[in-house]
Amino acid sequence: MALKAQVLYDFTAEPGNNELTVKEGETVTITNQNIGGGWIEAQNSRGEVGLVPEDYIEVRECGDDFSISSLSHPDTACFSRNLASISVHSASNGNDPWSVWNTDPSGGSNNNWASNPEGTQTGKNAPDPWGSHGHPQAYQGPGAEDDEWDDDWDDMKSTGGYVESESGDSGAMQRGGAHATSMKISLNKFPGFSKSGPELYLLCKQFAKGKDKLPIYTGEVGPVWSYPESQLDCIVADPKKGSKMYGLKSYIEYQITPSNTNRPVNHRYKHFDWLYERLLDKFGSAIPIPSLPDKQVTGRFEEEFIKMRMERLQGWMTRMCRHPVVSSSEVFQLFLTYKDEKDWKMGKRKAEKDETVGVMIFSTIEPEAPDLDLIEVEQKCDQFSRFTKAMDDGVKEILTVGHEHWKRCTGPLPKEYQRIGKAFQNLSTVFTSSGYQGESTLTDALTAAGKTYEDIAQMVAEQPKKDLHFLMETNNEYKGLLGCFPDTIGVHKAAIDKVKEADKLVATSKIAPQDKVTMGKRASTMSYALQAEMNHFHSNRIYDYNRVMQLYLEEQVKFYETIAAKLRQAHSQFTTM
Amino acid sequence: MALKAQVLYDFTAEPGNNELTVKEGETVTITNQNIGGGWIEAQNSRGEVGLVPEDYIEVRECGDDFSISSLSHPDTACFSRNLASISVHSASNGNDPWSVWNTDPSGGSNNNWASNPEGTQTGKNAPDPWGSHGHPQAYQGPGAEDDEWDDDWDDMKSTGGYVESESGDSGAMQRGGAHATSMKISLNKFPGFSKSGPELYLLCKQFAKGKDKLPIYTGEVGPVWSYPESQLDCIVADPKKGSKMYGLKSYIEYQITPSNTNRPVNHRYKHFDWLYERLLDKFGSAIPIPSLPDKQVTGRFEEEFIKMRMERLQGWMTRMCRHPVVSSSEVFQLFLTYKDEKDWKMGKRKAEKDETVGVMIFSTIEPEAPDLDLIEVEQKCDQFSRFTKAMDDGVKEILTVGHEHWKRCTGPLPKEYQRIGKAFQNLSTVFTSSGYQGESTLTDALTAAGKTYEDIAQMVAEQPKKDLHFLMETNNEYKGLLGCFPDTIGVHKAAIDKVKEADKLVATSKIAPQDKVTMGKRASTMSYALQAEMNHFHSNRIYDYNRVMQLYLEEQVKFYETIAAKLRQAHSQFTTM
């Protein structure tokens, strides 16, 4: 007897992906229950067969009454469903892969800043410069069919273990604008934070005896992390297409070659995501862990999409490698240097069991300098808060003007140069028809001048990819990074508030007088960590902005020089002799 | 007893010009009837005193009944009034001195082309590139008060003799868009044409015995005018403000220094206009006489306006000097080389009495080559007609795209560069607040880069005046010149048609058989004249377009090279050492 199912929610198939579009209330026949990865194969009443997310349908024996799910609102329903279906569901959110951006154009970051009550939010209403017509335009197309690359959640059930951690959505900015914004409801917003405030650390009686101590030294610029002698680096390259589920679903595997072993390892996007979640869990209270590049970046062509994602994964990995604490962590090293499948799986299990996560990371931090008093701690914290907010505004301004410049350079401006070029060439054609002798020098020169302006049109249109792109990428990366600070600084402020309450807690005998002293010492440790992190941030920022400005201006110089040279050549053809 | 007057039409005073705004139906008191130049001084009921055009009011003895003019519609009224009041009236046509352009944006040329039945009119709907926001923008302003410079008609009555000739409006293009388009109704559209068709020449029994014969030689390129050994040139310079009517009205006098005498003479715009009318009368059937620069070109500042008008008068004079027939004519030489007031006045009177005008100019033309048959005459004519029309379209296209480019370069583009510059500088300010050591190299460099983009913004905005301006001016001049061809070619076509009718005229005994032979010979002479003129046009065109393109590209090269150099300098300040 054929197995029938009732469709609970609308699902729109993605082209070329063997999926089947179904409507809420529709009845389908299950043709294969053993697809795996959260999918089943079904046939609709018109005889069409394709994959449908299994959580979108309710299976019943044929002839049974329908028992419609009581979870009639899909958003509510998502709570109880696993991420595979949610991910798919949100992908069905219309044909425009950028629609989720449009609904929340400013990304998650505003919420973060807004939740920080002291801040004025000047950049709040700025349009997302990475919206539907901006910089990523180059990688975007109406017929984006690349969600087949985006199946990072599709074997969650079979591998197990990911679900819990992956359901935790970071509060970070890039993530906020990502794929599942409107659907993925954070059950566990900030693992080490929502489970427990900083008091878990401030009042902890006994720290776990770990090996991984994080010393903080006093450098020229103040507190600094311990930096390795040679900086780790890695190359993300050689994306390869793989497939599973009898070739029905495919994915991309990247080759990552770390500079310490020089031995490549392979990872899919979902492994990066796993790493991100681990790093966020472990270090997020002390170190801003930027989100991974958006899963939903789409491309007109597979090649463009893959190139773009790889470029951004490279940027993310480089930033992680550059961080002395992150790069030397066991989980990061596992990711870069695992020997084989068994090694990887064991390492994963160990990492997921790590208990020194959330605010407890501060228990491993050991500043060499004397304790700071609370006023100093608070001053530093406020200073960093002001700075990161101001920089967030500045970065957003650059993204906004860069976005507009991008649009002009790829839209009206080259069109205008093209029209100038055409007008010169048309006049040349008219002149050729004059029947007058000795015209050809002028008409040849006019045609050449016209073609030069057409060349310039093309140069103008292509230039943003050569320079503005990197300026935008760097600022976008910093926007993501800065979006993490409100959480990191929030932990810090909460700790300061706790220490301020200490007297009252002692008075009401909720803590012992000695606990108050401990709290102060630990707040000082947290401040050293924040200062070390800010100094790390500043030093990287100075390097990054010098580098990106050099690159930008270098390409701009080349651009204008090339135009000048082309025009000089065109000029030489005219003669008044 | 105070002399009272009834106001017949609204008149809006121009600021700073001692004028008085009056409304139709209002009663004013005449305070001075002896102002002259078509003006009287009057006082309104609020005690305000100022000049009012005398034709705008009807004087009556106080106590008399009003006898309202029966010419109640001002446009109709204009017919019967002299040009002084019409000029003033049309100037009162709202505050926007460009409004007359807007009502007839394509100028008079379309009518000319349209009246030429064989032509397709591709450029017909193109917006006037010199409309209210384009190239002349730089010379335009809301508070344009420069009509005081535009009093070229104001002493018409006193000098006399101009009225008749000046009331004739040329059909030429630039004139079509000029000041009095909607008001100045042509009573005598094309003097030598409307009075008589080409038959006046074709069938003339006896030509006047003149001294000025115009030979046509056969050159390398075909029929050519007789060119002088050294080309005449002149310099229009040193504009000086003069005044009259007790200083109430002022005007500008230009100094013109011809290369043959090197002795400067002074002329006001109205003298140029007189010369134009004479040249049009005399040569217009054979030689396109471009209109003078529009009287109504306005400027934000007196200096800009005067500079612009002078530049265009220079262009017009240069073109006239370059023409071998025009430049050697008695009237043109009079204009350039009159010795004193008496000489000038006598010369004027003589020129105005010249009877070899209109089609009769062909009677002075003497081609050295054998007669052409009618088929050849017609082919040449059609070829020139096609070419000039095609070039008219090409020129208008350049003006249209140039106009748009002008708007972009002076509008949104520099604003965008300014915003980029500001964004860099703002980020620099944020970075300065970091409290991190060793920041100053980056922040100084970022500030410098920001300022560089502000410099670029200014360069972009100012560049069109340096290059596009001349490209636009040259093309505008050619647009004006090409707008004369339909009339010149029209005379030619009418002559061809007449010759085609000759057999019928002979058959009906309207002309003698010998007359038919004469007509054929004379049509051949007209064709030689047209060919000589076209060859003159082509040779000038090739020179002019080579020259303007050289100039344009040279300035463009400089522009891009300067930007590249500035960016290179900005680049050098960043360091990743």
Considering only CA atoms, give the Rg of chain A: 28
- Is A301 in CB contact (< 8 Å) with chain B? no
- Residue A433 to residue B571, Cβ atoms within 8 A: no
Phi-psi bin for B238: left (phi > 0), alpha (psi -120 to 50), beta?
left
Distance CA B553, CA A419 (A): 16
User: Could you read off the pLDDT tens digit of each residue along chain B, which spans 577 residues?
Assistant: 578 888 887 887 766 567 788 888 888 888 888 776 677 888 888 888 888 877 788 876 444 443 333 333 333 333 333 323 323 333 333 332 222 223 333 333 333 443 333 333 333 333 333 333 455 533 333 333 333 333 433 333 333 222 222 333 333 333 333 333 223 333 333 433 334 578 888 888 777 776 678 999 999 999 999 999 999 999 999 998 887 767 777 788 999 999 999 999 999 999 999 999 999 999 999 999 999 987 655 554 577 788 888 999 999 999 999 999 999 999 999 999 999 999 999 999 999 998 888 889 999 999 998 999 999 999 999 999 999 999 999 999 999 999 999 999 999 999 999 999 999 999 999 999 998 988 999 999 999 999 999 999 999 999 999 999 999 999 999 999 999 999 999 999 999 999 999 889 899 988 889 989 999 999 999 999 999 999 999 999 999 999 999 999 999 999 999 999 999 999 999 987 6
CATH of the domain at A51: 2.30.30.40
Higher pLDDT, A32 or B496: B496
User: Do A223 and A141 share a structural domain?
Assistant: yes
Tokens 């040679």, located at residue: A230
Distance CA B19, CA B11 (A): 9
Q: Which domain holds residue A32?
A: 3-77
Distance CA B476, CA B319 (A): 13
Distance CA B262, CA A358 (A): 93
From residue B323, alpha-carbon distances to A172, B186, B326, B534, B539 in Å are: 76, 27, 5, 12, 11
Does a structural domain hold residue A205?
A: yes
Distance CA B232, CA B258 (A): 7
At residue B36, the pLDDT reads 67
The answer to whether residues A126 and A106 touch, using CB atoms and an 8 Å cutoff, is yes
Does a structural domain hold residue B455?
A: no
Beta strands in A141-269 (DSSP E): 214-219, 222-225, 234-244, 249-258, 265-268
Is ipTM strictly over 0.95? Answer: no
The answer to whether residues B366 and B207 touch, using CB atoms and an 8 Å cutoff, is no
- CA B323 to chain CA centroid, Å, is 18
Residue range A38-63, pLDDT digits in tens: 778 888 888 888 888 877 888 765 44
A450 pLDDT more than 70? yes
From residue A268, alpha-carbon distances to A164, A178, A240, A342 in Å are: 19, 18, 10, 17
Distance CA A82, CA A243 (A): 22
Best residue of A382, A400, A403, A430 to probe chain B, by most B CBs closer than 10 Å: A430
Helix (H) / strand (E) containing B3: strand B3-7
Helix (H) / strand (E) containing A410: helix A374-410
- Residue B438 to residue A570, Cβ atoms within 8 A: no
User: Which residue type, as a one-letter code, is found at position A516?
Assistant: K
Q: What angle do CA A39, A42, A46 make, to 5 degrees?
A: 145
From residue B563, alpha-carbon distances to A460, A566, B62, B312, B567 in Å are: 15, 15, 72, 31, 6
Q: What angle do CA B558, B563, B565 make, to 5 degrees?
A: 90
Q: What values do phi and psi take at B49, rounded to 5?
A: -115, 140
User: Do B156 and B14 share a structural domain?
Assistant: no
Chain A positions touching B385 (Cβ under 8 A) are none
Helix axes A302-322, A269-283, angle to 10 degrees: 30
- Residue B430 to residue A394, Cβ atoms within 8 A: yes
- Residue A434 to residue B387, Cβ atoms within 8 A: yes
A34 pLDDT more than 90? no
Name the pairing type of β-strands B365-367 and B214-219.
Answer: parallel
A91 pLDDT more than 80? no
B window 350-389, beta carbon within 8 A of A: 383, 386-387
Does a structural domain hold residue B456?
A: no
Min Cα–Cα distance to chain B from A412, Å? 10
User: Do B112 and B28 share a structural domain?
Assistant: no
B window 398-427, beta carbon within 8 A of A: 398, 400-402, 404-405, 408, 412-413, 416, 419-420, 422-424, 426-427
Contacts of B190 (CB under 8 A, 6+ apart): B168, B170, B171, B284, B487
- 3-state SS record for B220-283: CCEEEECCCCCCCCEEEEEEEEEEECCCCEEEEEEEEEECCCCCCEEEEHHHHHHHHHHHHHHH
A162 pLDDT more than 60? no
At residue B211, the pLDDT reads 64
A130 pLDDT more than 70? no
Distance CA A469, CA A484 (A): 23
Higher pLDDT, A134 or B317: B317
Proportion of chain A above pLDDT 90, given as a percent: 52
The answer to whether residues B553 and A546 touch, using CB atoms and an 8 Å cutoff, is no
User: Do B29 and B119 share a structural domain?
Assistant: no
At residue B6, the pLDDT reads 86
- Residue B397 to residue A438, Cβ atoms within 8 A: no
Nearest to A442 among B424, B436, B545 (CB): B545
User: Do B165 and B25 share a structural domain?
Assistant: no
User: Do A141 and A10 share a structural domain?
Assistant: no
Number of residues assigned to chain B = 577
Chain B positions touching A437 (Cβ under 8 A) are 220-221
Distance CA A487, CA A441 (A): 69
Min Cα–Cα distance to chain A from B87, Å? 37
Contacts of A359 (CB under 8 A, 6+ apart): A192, A193, A196, A197, A198, A200, A201, A285, A491
Does a structural domain hold residue B574?
A: no
At residue B227, the pLDDT reads 94
- CA B208 to chain CA centroid, Å, is 33
3-state helix, strand, coil in chain B (%, to 5): 55, 10, 35
- Residue A394 to residue B427, Cβ atoms within 8 A: yes
User: Which residue type, as a one-letter code, is found at position A108?
Assistant: G
Residue range A489-525, pLDDT digits in tens: 999 999 999 999 988 989 998 888 999 999 999 999 9
Number of residues assigned to chain A = 577
Among residues A237, A240, A235, which one has the least CA distance to residue A302? A240
Strand, coil or helix: B110:
helix
Residue range A165-219, pLDDT digits in tens: 333 333 333 333 333 222 332 333 343 333 457 888 888 877 777 667 899 999 9
Distance CA B40, CA A123 (A): 63
User: Do A306 and A381 share a structural domain?
Assistant: yes
For residue A514, count other CB atoms closer than 10 A to its CB: 9
At residue B207, the pLDDT reads 77
CATH of the domain at A386: 3.30.1520.10
- Rank A17-26, A69-78, B114-123 by mean pLDDT and report only the highest: A17-26
- Residue A423 to residue B398, Cβ atoms within 8 A: yes
Counted domains in chain A: 2
Best residue of B224, B382, B385, B397 to probe chain A, by most A CBs closer than 10 Å: B397
Does a structural domain hold residue A181?
A: no
User: Do A211 and A62 share a structural domain?
Assistant: no
Does a structural domain hold residue A230?
A: yes
User: Do B368 and B328 share a structural domain?
Assistant: yes
At residue B577, the pLDDT reads 66
The answer to whether residues A335 and A175 touch, using CB atoms and an 8 Å cutoff, is no
Distance CA A27, CA A40 (A): 14
User: Could you tell me the two tokens for A541?
Assistant: 């920022």
At residue B3, the pLDDT reads 83
Provide the Cα torsion A278, A279, A283, A289; round to 10°: -140
- Residue B387 to residue A424, Cβ atoms within 8 A: no
User: Could you tell me the two tokens for A488?
Assistant: 């990191």
Query: Sign of the C-alpha dihedral, residues A539, A541, A542, A547?
Result: positive
* Averaged pLDDT score across all residues of chain A: 77
At residue A244, the pLDDT reads 74
Does a structural domain hold residue A569?
A: no
User: Do B60 and B103 share a structural domain?
Assistant: no
Tokens 């053993």, located at residue: A34
Tokens 């309202």, located at residue: B68
At residue A40, the pLDDT reads 81
> What's the predicted TM-score (pTM) here?
0.72
Tokens 């082509």, located at residue: B538
User: Do B59 and B201 share a structural domain?
Assistant: no
Helix (H) / strand (E) containing B4: strand B3-7
User: Do A279 and A214 share a structural domain?
Assistant: yes
- Residue A554 to residue B535, Cβ atoms within 8 A: no
Among residues A474, A486, A461, A465, which one has the least CA distance to residue A398? A474
Domain boundary residue, one of A48, A77, A106: A77
Does a structural domain hold residue B136?
A: yes
